[in-house]
A and B are shown apart, each in its own frame.
Chain A
């Protein structure tokens, strides 16, 4: 089944404790992206990647890192999480030129 998977689905952590949210897709998509969703603010892009080893900042990249060492994986790293990073995070992927993005199920992160 074609899908985007994210892990974990739910995470509660404390300020400053490094964490990684994994994202994997099995559709051989070149393009992958991370979004955060907050009430009243919609979907805001954090980082995106057009292909392996190619990443670019989105609208809200501060406090986040990403890497794209393999085509199928695009982990999101929070080196020192803060409470304002409490949010619902989505990973998405697509073929370059297709535009149709496939979203993962989301990761709800709470930073206390």
Chain B
């Protein structure tokens, strides 16, 4: 089955800097790669996703890139703000999705 590795497990950045979280997956048949944000005390919420027919997708300060050949995808957050502090999960697969172990991002004001 699908296996998803996510790095780093924790990440601290200064406010205004960029943050990058990387994931690798094992199943070359996977074609959907979402990113979820989990704020303290809440359930994960989808923030951006990408399908295998595109290499990059942007939504304001966040972007996701996908390299299908290397089987890895990344989340990029620019101009980080304190409200970006949360746990971020990548996922891969179809149904069911397989999640990475999460990255705790701390944005220091």
Residues of A within 8 A of B (CB): 4, 31, 33, 35, 40-45, 48, 50, 58, 90, 92, 96, 99-101, 103-106
Complex partner residue of A31 from B44, B46, B95, CB under 8 angstroms: B95
Does B46 contact A100, Cβ atoms closer than 8 Å?
yes
Which residues of B3-52 have CB atoms within 8 Å of chain A's CB atoms?
A: 6, 9, 32, 34, 36, 41-46, 49
Docked pose: A101 CA to B44 CA in angstroms: 9
Interface bits B60-104 vs A (CB < 8 Å: 1, else 0): 000000000000000000000000000001000011111111100
Does B32 contact A43, Cβ atoms closer than 8 Å?
no
Known: A105-B42, A106-B42, A106-B43. A99 touches B97 (CB 8 A): yes
Does A101 contact B42, Cβ atoms closer than 8 Å?
no
B residues contacting the other copy or chain, number (CB 8 A): 22
Docked pose: A35 CA to B96 CA in angstroms: 11
Which residue in chain B gives the minimum CB-CB distance to A97?
Answer: B95
Docked pose: A35 CA to B92 CA in angstroms: 15
Does B96 contact A100, Cβ atoms closer than 8 Å?
no
11 contacts between A and B (CB under 8 A): A31-B95, A42-B99, A42-B102, A90-B44, A92-B43, A101-B46, A103-B43, A103-B45, A105-B42, A106-B41, A106-B42
Complex partner residue of B97 from A50, A101, A106, CB under 8 angstroms: A101
Does B49 contact A33, Cβ atoms closer than 8 Å?
no
